[in-house]
Amino acid sequence: MVSRKGRENQLYTAEGERVVAGTVILNATKDKTLLISSESHPKKWIIPKGGAEIDETIEQSALRETWEEAGAIGKITQKIGVFRDDAKFNGKQTVFHFYELVLSELADDWPEKYKRRRQWMPYDEAHSALLNNKRYQLAEALKCSNISR
């Protein structure tokens, strides 16, 4: 998997929203999810996700971001859904596409190893962490996944 830098290939909707793709990573027994720390707010937990690019499918973007940010490889088991954020960041609204991914390999070395922490959490802990950070779309994606709770 090749990691990418920059935003010149960023995909936008016809309405000008930034398209972001990511995964809810589950362990094989589907009772934990792997959260990562935000780069801009290192104390806050998020789900691996990032800008979808024009020359990829949204699913490919989600898998690439999952590798770059979390060092995780696995199988996409469902599309969880599309979640809109009406708030504007850098003048743009965001539309998130989230997939569920069951982990097959967690690398010890990955592109953003020195930028991010990773932590497995059961549903309640992960959902609360995302809600406490006001990451409502990420919390909703986790809620809509097949994680056991």
Transcribe 128-140 into DSSP letters.
HHHHHTT-HHHHH
Rounded (10°) CA dihedral 46, 52, 53, 58:
130
Residue 69 phi/psi, 5° resolution?
-90, -35
Q: What is the CA radius of gyration of the chain?
A: 14
The region of 41-49, 72-80, 101-109, 119-127 touching ligand 5FA under the rule CB under 6 A is 41-49
The region of 49-57, 74-82, 99-107, 122-130 touching ligand 5FA under the rule CB under 6 A is 49-57
Task: Choose between 97 and 135: whose C-beta lies nearer to ligand 5FA.
Answer: 135
| 92 part of the interface to ligand 5FA, by CB under 6 A | no
Residue 148 in tokens: 């056991």
Task: Choose between 22 and 74: whose C-beta lies nearer to ligand 5FA.
Answer: 22
Footprint of ligand 5FA (CB under 6 A): 20, 38-41, 46, 49-51, 65, 85, 87, 89-90, 94, 135
